[in-house]
Amino acid sequence: FLTVYSLSGSRGCRSLSRPLGRRQGMPWTGRQERTLIAVKPDGVQRRLVGQIIQRFEQRGFKLVGLKMVQASHGILSEHYGELRTKPFFQSLLTYMSSGPVVVMVWEGHNVVQASRKMVGQTNPAEAPAGTIRGDFSVHVSRNVVHASDSQEGAQKEIQLWFPAKDLLDWDCCDQIYTIEV
Ligand code: IDP
Ligand code: MG
């Protein structure tokens, strides 16, 4: 579905006559990695949604799914299943279900590892300035954002939060300038 543009040509982003969404024609086999990012209830309450989205956009990643939900304990228990035995598990569920979260799927080269770096350490006290947690949070229990920690984890989380039909395959018009295609 990737249209091959000529760098010296004049089509580029101006070929807007094509419909948005999945393309007809030659398949492009290099589908990029995806990860689940969520702005947690503290991030939404503190009006950080725009700034967090902006960081992923400006890095060059592509948004392929987005929704705002107030999450149930059911979905959160599954999402944080590995932490079930931790002493903070119940308070984590209470915090995460206390208000809306903005859940997103971002796509791009090496997006899982890159977004963990952009988000910073779990404990904001250890997260360097320049990371999302290092810039916007101070306490481990209110660290404003979630990011999948591995490709396998990302796949599970994406399936948990999004039906496949709600994720869009689309060609971002700058992708020949952000990745080698
Ligand atoms: P991560 O979000 O960086 O992947 P995890 O260890 O997977 O970190 O923990 C999930 C979430 O659980 C954290 O983002 C944070 O909201 C919460 N959490 C982790 N450790 C603590 C803690 O010691 N006290 C309170 N909440 C914690
Ligand atoms: Mg984690």
3-state DSSP assignment of residue 95: helix
Ligand 1 pocket check for 63: Cβ under 6 Å: no
Cα distance between residue 139 and residue 142, in whole Å: 5
Return the pLDDT at 30.
55
Pocket test for ligand 1, best of 90, 115, 122, 156 (most atoms within 8 A of CB): 122
Q: Tens of pLDDT along the chain (181 residues)? A: 444 333 333 334 444 434 444 444 444 445 799 999 999 999 999 999 999 999 999 999 999 999 999 999 999 999 999 999 999 999 999 999 999 999 999 999 999 999 999 999 999 999 999 999 999 999 999 999 999 999 999 999 999 999 999 999 999 999 889 888 7
Q: Which atom belonging to ligand 1 lies closest to the Cα atom of 149?
A: 4
Return the pLDDT at 179.
85
Return the pLDDT at 27.
44
Return the pLDDT at 133.
99
Active site residue 139: no
Return the pLDDT at 25.
44
Return the pLDDT at 149.
98
Entry field: residues in the chain: 181
Return the pLDDT at 2.
42
Q: How many CB atoms lie under 10 A from the CB of residue 143?
A: 22
Return the pLDDT at 91.
98
Query: Is residue 165 a contact partner of residue 18, using CB atoms and an 8 Å limit?
Result: no
Ligand 1 pocket check for 95: Cβ under 6 Å: no
Cα distance between residue 87 and residue 166, in whole Å: 35
For residue 44, what are the contacts with CB-CB under 8 A and spacing of at least 6? 68, 99, 100, 101, 102
Cα distance between residue 40 and residue 177, in whole Å: 31
Q: What is the pTM of this model?
A: 0.88
Return the pLDDT at 4.
38
Return the pLDDT at 108.
96
Q: How far is CA 162 from CA 156, 157, 159, 176, in A?
A: 10, 8, 5, 28
